[in-house]
Amino acid sequence: MNHGMPRILKSYEAVVKREQCTARVMISAVSRREAVHKLELWFWYEYKGKLGQVHKAMIVSDPYEEVHYGPDFRCSDRMNKFLPPDVIERLIQESRGELMPDTREGVPHSPPNSVRRVRRRRDFGVFVAPGIRRMKNNVFYYRITIAPQQSRNGHRLRKRKYRDVRLTARTLPDAIKEIRQRRLEAENQKNALRSMKVRSLVFTSHVAGLTTLNPSQRDVFSKVLPKYEEPRPKLSVSAL
């Protein structure tokens, strides 16, 4: 015997566009997600493909305003499919430019959704210190070599391969601390098969402005310092 809470059914309306008229169908379901699923099955059983793809012929109402934009919004969720035009417009406004109508043709067994995310330029981030990259959303990544470059007689046989490890730190000092704790520097050196002075966390901390190298450390990193320290201003000499 089922002692759970009784299912509270709601009413939804589907409008199906046919050649010279429209058909309206009412269905009961617990949620819009369930209603869409039932109506998809009904559509294919009723018309057997005669009206083409379902997204071109049917829309489903949202009388209880269940469709809203938020952090967990998924365009492919059945809850958000076959939306009426007014609901699509409201959803786009709620997303503040994150969504747009999905007008792609799609394929028979993979129709497009009612909305899709706006394509944005890829965020490549900025290297704020050797091997440490910061993205626009303030997420830090540490670049680790997974396969060293191979060369023979001056010819490169294999390019260096690497991967970017996401850090939980939100500030550069915490990022360097996390790299130490997770021993990511040692992993990079092991895979690179050589010690890279420029990737030393002592040097990285100096470049990031968190610490200052003492004279003996400056001697150790003397070959790589000029590239990262502020260059001397160049004087322009005009010919007389």
For residue range 22-33, what is the model confidence (pLDDT) as tens digits?
A: 899 999 999 999
Closest among 193, 176, 191, 165 to 130, alpha carbons compared: 176
Placement of tokens 């509270």 in the chain:
8
Residue 110's pLDDT band (cuts 50, 70, 90) = confident
> Which of the four pLDDT bands, split at 50, 70 and 90, describes residue 231?
low
Mean pLDDT in residue range 165-184: 92
Q: Write down the pLDDT at residue 7.
A: 84
pLDDT at site 5:
67
Angle, in degrees to the nearest 10, between helices 184-192 and 172-181: 70
Find out whether 54 and 43 touch, Cβ atoms under 8 Å: yes
Mean pLDDT, residues 165-175 taken together: 92
- The pLDDT tens digits of the residues spanning 28-47 come to 999 999 999 999 999 999 98
Taking only the tens place, the pLDDT of each residue in 91-109 is: 999 998 889 999 887 766 6
- Percent residues over pLDDT 70 in the chain: 91
Mean pLDDT of 66-90: 94
Look at residue 19 in the predicted model and tell me its pLDDT: 76
More confident call, 6 vs 218 = 218
Q: According to the model, what pLDDT value does residue 20 have? A: 78
Cβ neighbours for 122, distance < 8 A, ≥ 6 positions apart: none
Q: What is the pLDDT of residues 115-146, one digit of tens each?
A: 999 876 677 888 888 899 999 888 999 999 88
How confident is the model over 183-187, as a mean pLDDT? 90
